[in-house]
């Protein structure tokens, strides 16, 4: 099993001629989750060849424009493409009013139901839970109400070692209990330990999205042991004062949070346009944390028990239809 993150935009504040603002697509247990929706998100989704119809949940961290200005256009496109499947949008209290005001002003309506779920920016909150995963929000420290998001897979059932089960004469009707971790007893009274009848399931994976925030040790407490942490790093230490003034983080700040959280991998993003060479971010962060990666647009970050693999999804404009 693997968890895959596709970065659509990794710039801060404003899009440029070759960069888009924050947006990510997370694939987890065959489900697609859109995280933030800066300008140009739907264009980047098309370039990534991601089917719009697979997205049923959208998470908005806060109401600064570079994190949600692409949302109303995407919702409108869903309608124009004939969507009928319900959609849930998670975000701050005023998000619903902002979206509906734009719809009313433009005479827009949708052919599908939209449910707006309000996030709490002062306390952690479970937003969505199924048999396969749990998605939670957690507070961040920024100029306006802002939340991060934690995506956690649940442990799967154990995998049956069928040849061994057949050798012991385990009936099919008992497979369910064995996969749930129970030992098995034969009609003759022989106890067979579960570990002999099953294989360990893949370890569940987790991803944390820490959007705009200044450094706070509280962040690490909410995401302890996370496998992959995305943490904004708008600036490097040469502009640490500016980071503090704007309540953003430096690459060093992000690395310290990853260290405190016991994360496995750190992904840096939300880079200021003041920088042309993003390698500086990686160099500064690796002084404090070992496994540091830069968020690159139209790149896939595939996380599994074997580690983190990065693949470019770039398609030249001449190849697009």
Query: What's the rounded Cα separation, in Å, for the pair 76 and 65?
Result: 18
Q: How far is CA 74 from the centre of its chain?
A: 18
- Of the residues 36, 66, 212, 227, which is catalytic? 66
SS3 219: helix
Closest CA to 132 of 31, 25, 230: 31
State residue 72 phi and psi, 5-degree precision.
-65, -35
Quick check: is 66 catalytic?
Answer: yes
Question: CB of 59 within 8 A of CB of 33?
Answer: yes
**CA-to-CA dists, residue 247 to 11, 147, 149, 213, 234, angstroms:** 16, 14, 19, 6, 10
Sign of the Cα torsion 48, 52, 5, 253 reads positive
Q: Which residues are catalytic?
A: 66
């Amino acid at each position: 099993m693997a968890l895959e993150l596709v970065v659509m935009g990794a710039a801060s504040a404003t899009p440029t001629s070759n960069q888009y603002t924050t947006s990510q697509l997370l694939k987890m247990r065959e489900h697609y989750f859109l995280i933030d929706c800066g300008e140009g998100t739907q264009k980047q989704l098309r370039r990534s060849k991601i089917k719009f119809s697979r997205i049923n949940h959208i998470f908005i961290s806060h109401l600064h424009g570079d994190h949600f200005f692409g949302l109303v256009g995407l919702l409108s496109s869903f309608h124009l493409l004939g969507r009928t499947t319900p959609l849930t949008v998670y975000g701050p209290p005023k998000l619903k009013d902002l979206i509906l005001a734009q719809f009313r002003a433009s005479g827009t309506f949708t052919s599908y139901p939209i449910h707006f779920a309000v996030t709490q920016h002062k306390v952690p909150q479970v937003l969505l839970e199924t048999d396969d995963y749990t998605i939670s929000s957690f507070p961040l420290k920024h100029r306006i109400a802002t939340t991060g998001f934690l995506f956690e897979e649940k442990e799967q059932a154990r995998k049956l070692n069928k040849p061994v089960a057949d050798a012991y004469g385990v009936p099919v009707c008992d497979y369910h209990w064995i996969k749930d971790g129970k030992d098995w007893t034969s009609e003759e009274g022989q106890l067979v330990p579960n570990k002999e009848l099953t294989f360990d399931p893949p370890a569940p994976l987790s991803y944390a999205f820490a959007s705009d925030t200044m450094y706070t040790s509280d962040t690490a407490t909410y995401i302890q042991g996370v496998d992959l942490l995305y943490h904004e790093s708008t600036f490097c230490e040469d502009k640490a004062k500016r980071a503090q003034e704007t309540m953003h983080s430096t690459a060093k700040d992000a690395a310290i949070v990853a260290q405190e959280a016991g994360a496995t991998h750190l992904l840096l993003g939300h880079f200021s346009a003041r920088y042309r060479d993003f390698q500086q971010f990686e160099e500064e962060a690796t002084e404090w944390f070992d496994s540091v990666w830069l968020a690159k647009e139209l790149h896939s970050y595939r996380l599994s028990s074997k580690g983190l693999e990065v693949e470019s999804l770039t398609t030249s404009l001449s190849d697009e239809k």
